[in-house]
Amino acid sequence: METVVINDVGPRDGLQNDPTAVSPDDRVRLINALVAAGLPAVEVVSFVSPKAVPKMAGADQVVAQLDLDAADFSALIPNMKGYELAKASGIRSVGVVLSATETMNQKNINMSLDKTISVCRDIVTQAKADGLTPRAYVSVAVECPYEGLVPDSQIESLAEIMFAAGAAEVIVADTIGGANPAQIKALFTRLVTAFGANVLSAHFHDTRALALANAWQALECGIRKFDASISGLGGCPFAPGAAGNLATEDLVSLLHQAGFHTGIDSKALVDVVDLAAELVQHNVGGRSLAWQRNQLAKTDSKGVAA
């Protein structure tokens, strides 16, 4: 069985955009429940301005309560200040954010594209020197809400810059959920040829109900690492029209049905969906959830269901 690694970004990408503010203690509960369900990686916080993203306040309090050996925990960071805060928290993996267009960088982190490239390069270099694992998001990778379609060549050249600086991985993010599988095939075929599949990860949003189809296409291109968000929580506050992320439970269901190994316990994952709903105080969940609950009821928790 081939293994696919899922990084749950719900505690960061999910909660940053939810109307409900979830306390650091409750975010820790959610993260620990994800790890207990078998998630090998979780993006737990972002070290960003609390004025820009109030829901991520208390990131250091979240990290302080985690058993850092329990999973591959990472933090998203927008600038050197965020990096310093992340390093001080003890987290071992950081993700810089490089949007593919000029306007998206301005809207998201108030920097030009050139400035963002140089800041990301400096952070990646510093993180590597400090013994942390640096990753790089290349976001709005197919379509930007401000500038429209983004050429694949732009994504390749930004990824190239991040790898050259020492990034261990580039996460290609369809931040607004604008991509279709034909575009994903073209983009990932190009990137896999240039860099190899094992240093790439894919991040999809489900705005047009194509996230799962896009994930399958990326898988066909050889990608074996994905971001997904428990219950499909998520969206970027600075990217108008972006809906939730690909739901972790939907991706796990697809992968298990197709014969891939994830190490994730489907029943425990469905219980985490309930916890997420309790924390954000509204109903959440991926599209396969009702079916999964039905299967689990039938199999009496023996874990046959996808």
> Which sequence positions are flagged as catalytic?
236
Helix (H) / strand (E) containing 290: helix 289-299
227 φ, ψ (degrees, to nearest 5): -85, 145
**Which window, 25-33, 46-54, 127-135, 188-196, contacts ligand COA (CB under 6 A)?**
46-54
Residue 32 touching ligand COA (CB under 6 A): no
Q: Which is nearer to ligand COA, 48 or 305 (CB)?
A: 48
Paired with 209 in beta bridges are none
Span of 79-87, 145-153, 241-249, 250-258 interacting with ligand COA by CB under 6 A: 79-87
238 binds, among Zn ion, ligand COA, none (CB under 5 to 8 A by kind): ligand COA
CA distance 239 to 78: 15
> Candidates 106-114, 146-154, 159-167, 256-264 — which segment interacts with ligand COA by CB under 6 A?
106-114
The verdict on 174 binding Zn ion (CB under 5 A) reads no
CB 215 within 8 A of CB 246: yes
7 touching ligand COA, by CB under 6 A: no
Alpha carbon 36 to its chain centroid, in Å, reads 19
Residue 193 CA from chain centroid, whole number: 23
Whether 112 contacts 105, CB under 8 Å? yes
Tokens describing residue 54: 């109030």
Interface mask (CB under 5 A) for Zn ion, residues 5-44, using x and -? --------x-------------------------------
The torsion angles phi and psi of 234, rounded to 5 degrees, stand at: 135, 180
For ligand COA, the binding residues (CB under 6 A) are: 16, 46-49, 52-53, 76, 78-79, 81-82, 85, 97, 108-110, 236, 238
For Zn ion, the binding residues (CB under 5 A) are: 13
